[in-house]
């Protein structure tokens, strides 16, 4: 399997653009101190498809939405029980990955 890490920097609000499964994906990632959680908005090819999707470990974050572009998963890195808190996600103790089975088969 080939996983591609999505970049999260140490800023409570950030945006980046990447290509996933041949589609332009614009991410806006935010940390809420009130809710004590990270979430993201996702535009695919210029269309908003997700708003405020909470980042949790071990769950395919886009599967319920049938976007036909693989999976996005948060995973602990180096600590089996790490959760995506304010410092864990930007420090790399929890990482965000994209996986597309179609790309792996090519």
Query: How do the domains of the chain map onto residue ranges?
Result: 4-105
Residue 15 in contact with residue 31, Cβ under 8 Å? Answer: no
Say what the pLDDT of residue 60 is: 96
List Cβ neighbours of 82 (8 Å cut-off, separation of 6 or more): 57, 76, 88, 93, 94
Residue in 87, 32, 95 with CA at minimum distance from that of residue 13: 32
pLDDT digits (tens, 9 = 90+) for 52-64: 999 999 999 999 9
Give, as one character, the DSSP assignment of residue 85. -
Looking at residue 81, what is its pLDDT? 86
Mean pLDDT by groups of 10 residues along the chain of 106 residues: 88 97 96 95 98 96 95 90 93 94 63
Strand extents, DSSP E, 1-106: 4-6, 13-20, 23-32, 37-44, 47-54, 71-76, 94-99
Per cent of the chain over pLDDT 90 is: 86
What is the model's pLDDT at position 26? 98
Q: How many Å apart are CA 41 and CA 57, to the nearest integer? A: 17
pLDDT at 103: 65
Backbone angles phi, psi at 45, to 5 degrees: 50, 40
Q: Would you state the pLDDT for residue 104?
A: 54
């Amino acid at each position: 399997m080939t996983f591609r890490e999505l970049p999260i920097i140490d800023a409570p609000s950030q945006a980046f653009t990447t290509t996933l499964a041949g589609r332009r994906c614009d991410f806006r990632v935010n940390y809420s101190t009130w809710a004590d959680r990270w979430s993201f908005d996702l535009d695919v090819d210029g269309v908003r498809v997700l708003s405020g999707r909470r980042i949790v470990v071990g769950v395919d974050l886009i599967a319920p939405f049938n976007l036909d572009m693989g999976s996005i998963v948060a995973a602990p890195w180096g600590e089996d029980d790490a959760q995506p808190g304010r410092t864990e996600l930007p420090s790399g103790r929890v990482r965000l990955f994209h996986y597309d089975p179609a790309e792996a088969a090519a």
